[in-house]
Chains A and B, each alone.
Chain A
Amino acid sequence: MPERTLRAAPRSWGKSLLLTLPILLWSLLMFSRAAMQPGRAPKLAAAVTLLLMAALFFQMVRTFETHRWRRYFFVALGFLFPIGFIWDLVALRGSMSIPVERMLSGDTPFCFIVIPMMIVPAALLGTIVFPGSVLATASNPHAISAMVALWLVATLLLGKGWCSYGCFFGGIEEGFAAVAKKPRIKKLDARLRWMPWAVLATVVLLTAALLEPVYCTWLCPFKAVTEYLQVRSFETAFQAGIFAVLFLGLVVVLPLVTKKRTQCSFLCPFGAFQSLFNKTSAFDVRIDRSKCQPCVLCEKACPTLSIGAESLESGKPRLSCMKCGACVDACVRGAVVWHIKGTPVGTSAERARLMHLYSAWGFAVLFGGGIIANTLAKLFGLLV
């Protein structure tokens, strides 16, 4: 199997098509249910999503580049998710804000960011401190058991890969980070990378102490584009203000000027929590020190400050690596490689990349592809 270097020619069309075939079949299987829905819009949306997912995978296989093509899917997911989500909220309750009455009836859609916060109260009291439903209901299809089950499987297998292939929120800032050609702010203090760990520890402890999902109530920037507690008091107005400021600052402005995923790097407690599961995943990224001449292109390309001087020394990115592949794509010497744990570094790197991609892209089709197809069906419904 050819290993990627600067001069590596693209893989042949035939081989690339053959390697894309499993993903094409998988996508057909995943979108067949959507295609069976009545009306033309769901069928068209399923077909467009299927073609998008298969075409992007084909390009990843053919060009040996991962991040470049993955990003198109991820940004589409990031921008289409809020549209579909808000659409559903407005159809269901006429507003993006959630009134207390809806919380009392368990109608708050569950979000995976709550997971690290709910563990301590669940272990100590046997209760989930979130106003959702354990099982899906007619008024709340986003059940806790469904999201936790999907998250658990994906996380144990892909580790922090969730943040590159599953997290619809990450796609928004990745989109803004992709706008500028060059960053205006080039130097970011690497110590800031500890911030998500501090936020994680704080919100976990405070949630256990206050028995309320503190991050969702006070800090989540994505409340600005999903749902927030109905403004009925100074406190809820203040919370809405925090959401808007954090969203504009960390998800829009800072990614625009730094070309980094700043919310993920400096705030997201869920991302920090996910980092721990990089240990359970069979795949990782390594730096082949025999090929590396520290040009720091990988460090500059990393969207989450996961490569530093010590990574180049040790041959491993930091624990926060989300396996997006930006560093591998950026390395002109082929020194940054995909790797299957336990195997020698640098041998069969392309096989490791493909194995990882089949798993990660398979999950992306299943989870993100479904979200994209659902939203596209709503949008196409306006036209056809």
Chain B
Amino acid sequence: MKRWRAILGNTAAVATLAILLTTPFLYGWFQKGVAALDLRIDPQYTGGEVARVIQREGYQVVVRKPVPRRTPLQRVDPFVQMTWTPAAKLPAQVSDEIDLDGDGRPDLLVTFDTTHLKLDVTPRNAGYRAVRCSGVVSFSELIARVNDGIVVRVPLR
């Protein structure tokens, strides 16, 4: 028994060295293996899955699915995210009525100025909160320039 344990131990020691030496060459595979777990970045950072894209003249509004509260202690309030893109093609003052759920009726009136990022959101639906802010108030209430777009997050009721 002792002999077998020693053989196993020595085999594991040699295997350790062998695996570490092959790591740089198999690294891409290891990485793909981790990526294949299909884990996603939490929607409080990404804004959630894309629900629909609304085409406007010269630009588009990417509407994402609402991000609900998932634990009772979560500090980020539920919100919905919209992205106006490309930012360069937006007029100085944007005023859009947005149908978030695709029922044909507008849910929000979103107005902002693209230079100073001053946001004014008037809900047309009781499920959303009114917002009047500039920049980032919290993860659920903000207007920010992100990459090539302007991101707006509106808290849910």
Query: Which residues of A line the B interface, CB within 8 A?
Result: 26, 29-30, 99-101, 103-106, 121-122, 125-135, 143-146, 148-150, 152-154, 157-158, 208-212, 232, 281-283, 340-344, 352, 355-356, 358-359, 362-363, 366
Contacts and interface: CB of A to CB of B under 8 A. Distances in A.
B126 interface: no
B12 to A, nearest CB: 4
- Interface size of B as a range: 35 or more
A148 B27 CA distance: 11
A154 B20 CA distance: 8
Contact of B10 (A30, A132, A343): A343
Nearest to A122: B39
Interface stretch (B50-58, B101-109, B140-148): B140-148
Query: Of residues A104, A144, A359, which shows the largest number of chain B Cβ atoms within 10 Å of its Cβ?
Result: A104
B115 interface: no
Nearest to B29: A149
A100 B142 contact: yes
A366 B73 CA distance: 41
Contacts of B74: 209-211
Nearest to B153: A104
Given A210-B75, A212-B76, 8 more contacts: A99-B136, A101-B146, A104-B46, A127-B40, A131-B41, A143-B31, A211-B74, A282-B13
Interface string B84-116: 000000000000000000000000000000000
22 contacts: A101-B144, A103-B45, A121-B42, A125-B70, A128-B40, A130-B42, A145-B34, A149-B31, A153-B19, A154-B20, A157-B16, A209-B74, A210-B75, A211-B42, A282-B16, A283-B13, A342-B6, A343-B9, A355-B14, A355-B17, A362-B17, A362-B21
Contacts, number: 147
A127 B39 contact: yes
Contact of A146 (B24, B31, B139): B31
B17 A359 contact: yes
Interface of B: 2, 5-10, 12-17, 19-21, 23-24, 27, 30-35, 37-47, 70-76, 136, 139, 142, 144-147, 151
A130 B41 contact: yes
Nearest to A361: B20
Contacts of A99: 136
Contact of B12 (A30, A129, A341): A341
Contact of B39 (A134, A158, A343, A362): A134
A149 B34 contact: yes
Given A153-B19, A342-B8, A362-B17, A106 B41 contact: yes
Consensus secondary structure, chain A interface: helix
Given A149-B30, A210-B71, A105 B39 contact: no
Contacts of B13: 282-283, 340, 352, 355-356
3 nearest A-B residue pairs (beta carbon): A342-B9, A149-B30, A282-B12
A132 B39 CA distance: 12
Contacts of A358: 17
Contacts of B35: 134-135, 145
B30 to A, nearest CB: 4
A100 B31 CA distance: 27
Contacts of A363: 20, 23
Contacts of A281: 16
A101 B45 contact: no
Contacts of A282: 9, 12-13, 15-16
A226 B115 CA distance: 31
A362 B7 CA distance: 23
Contacts of A362: 17, 20-21
Contacts of A126: 38-40
B72 to A, nearest CB: 8
A51 B5 CA distance: 38
B30 A153 contact: yes
B86 to A, nearest CB: 15
Nearest to B72: A209
A310 B24 CA distance: 40
A144 B37 CA distance: 12
